[in-house]
Amino acid sequence: MTSITAITEAPPPPKGGNPLIVYRGVKKAFGKNVVYDGLDLEVQRGETLCIIGPSGVGKSVMLKLLTGLLDVDEGEVWFDGDKVSDFTSDAEYLPVRRRIAMVFQGAALFDSLTVFENVAYPLREQFNYSEEEIATKVAEKLEWVGLPGVEQKKPSELSGGMRKRVGLARSIATDPEVILYDEPTTGLDPVNIQRINQLILSLSERLRCTSLIVTHEMATVFACAQRIAFVYDKKIAAVGLPDAMKNSSNPLVRGFISGDPAPFAD
């Protein structure tokens, strides 16, 4: 006799196919603070998905659950056919982390190192490239972020916006298949916000990568997102195309996107 669990269990996502990333029934709490009580989301290979929602709802946690910086309490997280939520050691996560770049909130450069050494860092740490290959990759990435030739400068000689772009060059030095952005434009002026938006778009084209962008910046959302996921009430409360989300029948989604506080409790 087939058991009920066998009937309701979803099949594993395929290796090499779609969806690339799956969160299935994920629960996560820190003590009494329940962050997720059933997070479900599928991300397709090559898509750019923006994750929005009020401060503290768990957007950064969602990214960390994918790379094993945090563990789920219950449920499953899959990456390219592997159930990463079953991994128990850094050694198991390593091959996955090599394929995923993280552009994190306030990620700092190493002040004592040159820009070159900053960008080369993940190449040296995770791979066995020759010095020549490293120099080529560093120069390429600095060019991609619009900062060719700054290799020998120290981070302290650069503006905040330039440092952000060097940080981005460092994150993508390894030609990742997935880029996780956590508030990539926070604290930047409108021109630099647009610059980063354009960079995100050009990187997803150049690398043909999958991008997850956590942001409060609607200019970034509407410049970059192919789909938008709205996190609220311990789950993905809504997900859809940008136009559909903007005109959503859900007042919370509409209110959040337009900056109307009325639907939200204090």
Ligand X SMILES: Nc1ncnc2c1ncn2[C@@H]1O[C@H](COP(=O)(O)OP(=O)(O)OP(=O)(O)O)[C@@H](O)[C@H]1O
Residue selected from 60, 67, 204, 211 as contacting Mg ion according to rule CB under 5 A: 60
Among Mg ion, ligand X, none, residue 130 binds (CB under 5-8 Å by kind): none
Print the SS3 string covering the chain: CCCHHHHHCCCCCCCCCCCCEEEEEEEEEECCEEEEEEEEEEECCCCEEEEECCCCCCHHHHHHHHHCCCCCCEEEEEECCEEHHHCCCHHHHHHHHHHEEEECCCCCCCCCCCHHHHHHHHHHHHCCCCHHHHHHHHHHHHHHCCCCCCCCCCHHHCCHHHHHHHHHHHHCCCCCCEEEEECCCCCCCHHHHHHHHHHHHHHHHHHCCEEEEECCCHHHHHHHCCEEEEEECCEEEEEECHHHHHCCCCHHHHHHHHCCCCCCCC
Pick one of ligand X, Mg ion, none as the site partner of residue 58 (Cβ within 5 to 8 A by kind).
Answer: ligand X
Pick one of 60, 67, 85, 210: the residue that binds ligand X (CB under 6 A). Answer: 60
Among 12, 14, 17, 56, indicate the residue that binds ligand X (CB under 6 A).
56
Span of 12-20, 30-38, 71-79, 153-161 interacting with ligand X by CB under 6 A: 30-38
| Contact between 171 and ligand X per CB under 6 A | no
Query: Segment near Mg ion (CB under 5 A), from 58-66, 80-88, 202-210, 244-252?
Result: 58-66
Can residue 33 be called a binding residue for ligand X (CB under 6 A)?
yes
Query: In this complex, which beta carbon is closest to Mg ion, that of residue 60 or of residue 220?
Result: 60
Q: Per CB under 6 A, which region of 53-61, 107-115, 150-158, 194-202 contacts ligand X?
A: 53-61
Residue (51 or 245) nearer to ligand X, CB: 51
Total of chain residues touching ligand X, rule CB under 6 A: 10
Choice between 110 and 264, CB closer to ligand X: 264
Q: How far is the CB of 182 from ligand X (least distance, A)?
A: 7
Q: Which amino acid is at 229?
A: A
Kindly state whether residue 55 participates in binding ligand X, applying the rule CB under 6 A.
yes
C-beta closer to ligand X: residue 114 or 186: 186
Strands 100-103 and 178-182: parallel
Cα(163)–Cα(153) distance, integer angstroms: 11
- Distance in Å, CB of 55 to ligand X, minimum: 3
Is 85 an interacting residue with respect to Mg ion (CB under 5 A)?
no
Whether 206 and 168 have beta carbons less than 8 Å apart is answered as no
Q: What's CA 80's distance to the chain center, in Å?
A: 16
Closest to ligand X by CB, 56 or 263: 56
Which parts of this chain interact with Mg ion (CB under 5 A)? 60
Which parts of this chain interact with ligand X (CB under 6 A)? 30, 33, 35, 55-61
